[in-house]
Amino acid sequence: MQAILKIFYFAIYKKACVNGTMNGLCTILMSNMYEFGSTTTAHLIVEKYCERIFRSCKKMKNILLNVSEIVDFIETNCYNRETIGLHHPSMYQDLNENNRLTEIDYINGAVVRKGQKYGVPTPYCEFLTALVHCKEQILGAKIAQIRGDKTMEATSKTKNDGFSFYQ
């Protein structure tokens, strides 16, 4: 049972590395995954992000993630223009195309909260989360609220400084 749990957690944190990098970064940089992956700094940014996830996992659940394996997975799959590289992640679509609030608190923000709980600094996650919140505020992003059979758009009036969800 313990071995199955480790495989399960490995899959979850591998996905957190993929989503945590591609969603937030492509949203802020207004790029698809291929365009981001074509930059000279993409490797370093993704590697540093994944290293922090690795530290959190090791301390929290004693799960070992191979950072270079995950970075290679991202670079091989996400940046490939023949497969999904030309895709804009869902967060990009929500904010940049549909002016909706993002799920940043449930992706990068979750990593920050886990890091705080286990005493692992997550500066890349914190910074990216704050940047996405800044962009949401600048664009006046709205949250879709479903009431009965109607969908209503409500502008977020919160004064989220990008850090209050860490508490």
Instruction: Show which residues are catalytic.
Output: 15
Beta-carbon-side half-sphere exposure of residue 95 (alpha carbons within 13 Å): 28
Residue 122 and residue 103: Cα distance in Å, rounded? Answer: 18
Please report where in the chains the tokens 């895709």 appear, as a residue: 87
Cα of 152 vs its chain's centroid, Å = 26
- Other C-beta atoms within 10 Å of 16: how many? 23
- Other C-beta atoms within 10 Å of 3: how many? 7
Query: Are 60 and 118 contacting, i.e. CB atoms less than 8 angstroms apart?
Result: yes
